[in-house]
Amino acid sequence: MSNKAVISLTTGLEDPEKVTVAFLVAVGAAEQGRPTLMFLTKEAVRLVQPGTAVGTACEGCPSLPDLLARYEAAGGTYLVCPICFNAKALDPENLLPNAQMGGTVPMWQWIGDEGATTFSY
């Protein structure tokens, strides 16, 4: 059985609590040593633009910059939907270092034949 984790996130800062929960799940997986991929679509593609994921969603929640830093430090990566990204006219040269552009085919290639535990937000 695979120990990979894939977290699909469609929401951006319009719902910071949902973003925080998705990152808590991703950070938890990555910090436990699981190969972890966040597949970002819709508004979530903005989160891999440096300086975008800022603030704290709620009292007692960790800040988004802290969660992103922990995710990167634990080896977590992002796969960013190019259709969603380009539709928003974002800068592909301005991505977080652990992010790359890629759609569903690269996501399935990353998952491979062993499968993965998935979460969707």
User: pLDDT by residue (tens digit) across 31-89?
Assistant: 999 999 999 999 999 999 999 999 999 999 999 999 999 999 999 999 999 999 999 99
Q: How many CB atoms lie within 10 A of CB 15?
A: 15
CA–CA separation, 112 and 115 (whole Å): 6
The 8-class DSSP code of residue 76 comes to: -
If 0-12 CB within 10 Å is exposed, 13-18 middle and 19+ buried, where does residue 119 land?
Answer: middle
Kindly state which CATH superfamily the domain 5-120 is placed in: DsrEFH-like (3.40.1260.10)
Where are the domains positioned within the chain?
A: 5-120
Question: pTM for the whole thing?
Answer: 0.95
Sign of CA dihedral 112, 106, 52, 16: negative
Asked whether the beta carbons of 14 and 47 are under 8 A apart, the reply is no
The whole-number pLDDT of residue 47 equals 98
